[in-house]
Amino acid sequence: MSSINIEKISIVHWFPELERHTCGYCKKENGAVSYGMWAEQLNIDDYQNLIDRGWRRSGMYCYKPIMDLTCCPQYTIRCNTLQFKISKSQKKIIKKFNKFVTDGSGFKDPVIGEPMDDVQHEHIIIKEKPNVSLDYNQLNVTALNDKIEDATEASSSASVEVLKIEVPKPMDKLPVGPNPNKPPSKKAKVLRLERKKQKLLAKGIVFEPNASKGNEVKSLEDFLKDIPENAKYKFKTKLIPSVHINNELENDKIIEFQLYKKYQMAVHNDPPDKCTITGFTRFLISSPLKSVRVRGNTSSVTYGTFHQQYWLDDKLIAVAVLDILPRCVSSVYFFYDPEYRFLTLGTYGSLREIQFVRSLHATVPAIQYYYMGFYIHSCPKMRYKGKINQSFLLCPETYNWFPIDDCITKLDKNKYSRLNDDPDAVDENLCTRADIDRIKVCVSYSFTLFGNYKHQYGEQDVFDNIGRLIGKKNASNLLFVSSKE
């Protein structure tokens, strides 16, 4: 077996207690329920596997809502950007932005109490780092490699016990679809065309539509780049690795923080003393993800955490914090200058991020999804993510993806739902007892496997729960730091 490279392994601290806190959506005390872990460092493949099981990160802290216990279930949502088609309302938002950049039109002074962009964020969860010191240079990696090899040989003849999870029966499917007794309604565009024909016929003119013009379909990219070179403002985006902002670009960090503070106070009504540069750094700059250059790639695509800055001339107006992963771009947070609220920057930013994913796909074909965080159907303000077409929700029991349109009826009936209609479908990434015994544990600067660890420290229930929540793929990859001496 090949040895372990400590620079590439994921190192985490597990919080064994079920965490309860006030819900950020319905404000119910102790209504939000989750498990979490602090990540010292995360391999990008491991984090991709985690978010595909409903996990999400806030700075260095990773958490997974317990969907059947929490008051406002949070369903992971992603968009297939290759199938995305821009809507009429989304076109209007881009055109409004482009027109402002072109000639400055549309600007209006913000009014106190005026509604902000409809884009709202899921509740921010920040947790302190566990009081466990760890010096990677003192870790006995050789010992771990030997124990992994021994455990692998021993497990080849061992019996396999699957950890069972109770799966509720699917709900009866309600009938959906158009009323067969009602004639199909016509689109507004068709009705306008018919009225135009009638007016011209009344004047004795035969209407002949321009066939070539009708066949032209502008893409999302066409709309976004439709800004003339002689525009009043110069608009540009800059993609900067988060680690550079933290270690090298102190001026960028200060400028971003000032914008973040302005946004938090105006949009989320945070008091000034709550918005500190320490909290900003911990939440949006610190990241456990290790930057990795795409192998065999001649372009500049790199996995990791980035800040995509939006500039008008020399003024920063918005920042998107993004994780670039092997199969997707995951949105961490988006904040903007409230003075530009009239540009609907939250929605505009989402469209820019979809285009960004598609640009990465041209170089790295595996990257095609845009993860928008959580969709919370029980909170009307958080339903806006469902407006982006070709979006899919993650089933909280089988971890398969389903079109959001097929899930709405279920969520209207019950806020927690198994989204998979197949009663025989199971979690194919479910851990066996042998998988859990091979989980790597660090105790007092030495490595061992849980199969050995449990004989001295027990904690079978804790690690059974870990295996259930992180899945088989990550059970063999993550290294858990124990607080035991």
Would strands 61-65 and 302-312 be described as parallel, antiparallel, or unpaired?
unpaired
Q: Is residue 174 part of a domain?
A: no
Ranges of residues in the chain whose predicted pLDDT is under 70: 1-7, 108-127, 131-190, 192, 199-216, 296-299
Instruction: Give CA separation, 472 vs 38, 167, 300, 436, in Å.
Output: 19, 18, 32, 8
Q: Is residue 211 part of a domain?
A: no
Q: Is residue 454 part of a domain?
A: yes
For residue 317, give the 3-state DSSP assignment.
strand
pLDDT tens digits for range 27-83: 899 999 999 999 999 999 999 999 999 999 999 999 999 999 999 999 999 999 999
Instruction: Give CA separation, 419 vs 73, 172, 392, 422, in Å.
Output: 13, 12, 11, 9
Contact 239, 352 (CB under 8 A): no
Q: Is residue 128 part of a domain?
A: yes
pTM of the complete model: 0.83
Q: Report the alpha-carbon distance of residue 102 to residue 98 in Å, rounded.
A: 6
Q: Is residue 187 part of a domain?
A: no
Q: Report the alpha-carbon distance of residue 27 to residue 24 in Å, rounded.
A: 6
pLDDT of residue 137: 54
pLDDT of residue 167: 36
Q: Is residue 226 part of a domain?
A: yes
Domain ranges, residue 136: 10-166+218-294+302-481
- What is the number of domains present in the chain? 1
Q: Is residue 192 part of a domain?
A: no
Contact 54, 65 (CB under 8 A): yes
Contact 40, 481 (CB under 8 A): yes
Q: How many other CB atoms are there within 10 angstroms of residue 137's CB atom?
A: 6
Instruction: Give CA separation, 414 vs 39, 73, 366, 383, 410, in Å.
Output: 33, 10, 34, 15, 6
Q: Is residue 191 part of a domain?
A: no
